[in-house]
Amino acid sequence: MLGGGFAFWRRRPAVMALGLIPAAIAGLIVVAGFVALGFTLPGIATALTPFAEDWPAPWEDVARFTAGTAVVVAALMLVAISFTALTLFLGEPFYDRIWRAVETDLGDPPADSSYGFWRALGDGLSLVARGLVIALAAALLGLLPVVGGLVGGTTAVLLTGWLLADELASRALAARGLTGRRRRVLRRRHRARVLGFGVATQLCFLVPLGAVATMPAAVAGATLLSRSLLEGEPENRAERRPETPTAG
C-alpha cells in the first residue's frame, strides 16, 4: 500500500508535491527539538541515574548509557507521532487534495465532506497524547539491561505504526460514513494489513529526511489501504437494521 502511494508521484506529481510543503515545515520544527535533546541528553541521563554515582567503573557509565538510550528511543517514537500530527494539522488542505485525488483516480469517490479545523486539531492532540504514552512505555522498556534498547524500540515501532495507520486512514474512512467504532472494528479485522502499512511508514519516517519525502505517499497509501479494508464489506459500511422477513 505504501509503495502504491509512492507510485502516485507518477500519476499526480503536482498534487503530491504540495504535500512536501507542510512536511518540510513540520520536519524543521521536529529536528530543532531533537537537536536540543542531543545537547541536553548527558544531563538528562545523569539526572535519571543518581543511584549510579557511587558505582565503580564501568557500571556508572553503563547505567547512564542505558538511560540515555531509553530517552533517545522514546524521543524517536514521540518525534514520529508529533511529526505526523503537526504535518496533518498544518497541511490539512494539501493532504485533503491528495486523498481525494487518489479516490477520484480509482473511481467511486466518497461524497464531499469537510474534515474541519477543530476536528483536525482534536485528532492531532489525541495522536500526540497517545504517542506520549507509547514514548513513556518505550523509555521504561529501554531501561531493561542489555536488551532494553531492542525491546523498547521494537515495541514502540509496532505501537506507533498502528497509530500512524489509524490516523492516516481515518479521513478516507470517515468520508465514507464510518463511525469511530466501526473504523476500529474494521482495523482489528484486518490487523496484519493495517500494522504492516503503519510499521513500513514508521520505518521510513526514521530515515533522515524520510518523513518529509514519505508523508505525501503515506497519505495516498492510506487511502489505498482504506479502500482495501472495505472490499467485501457491506455497502456503505453503514449501521443497518436487520430486515424483517415477510410472510410466505
Amino acid at 95: Y
Predicted local distance difference test score (pLDDT) of residue 121:
65
Cα Rg of the chain (Å, integer): 21
Predicted local distance difference test score (pLDDT) of residue 136:
77
Query: How far is the C-alpha of 38 from the C-alpha of 32, rounded, in Å?
Result: 10
Predicted local distance difference test score (pLDDT) of residue 112:
58
Predicted local distance difference test score (pLDDT) of residue 39:
84
Residue numbers of the chain with a pLDDT score lower than 50: 236-248
What's this model's pTM, rounded to 2 decimal places? Answer: 0.74
Query: How far is the C-alpha of 219 from the C-alpha of 2, rounded, in Å?
Result: 9
Query: How far is the C-alpha of 124 from the C-alpha of 167, rounded, in Å?
Result: 9
Predicted local distance difference test score (pLDDT) of residue 246:
43
Helices (H), the chain: 2-11, 13-18, 20-48, 59-90, 92-106, 117-142, 148-175, 180-189, 191-206, 210-230
Query: How far is the C-alpha of 163 from the C-alpha of 179, rounded, in Å?
Result: 17
Amino acid at 240: R
Measured N-to-C along each axis, helices 59-90 and 191-206 cross at an angle, to the nearest 10 degrees, of: 110
Hey, what's the cell of 216?
505525501
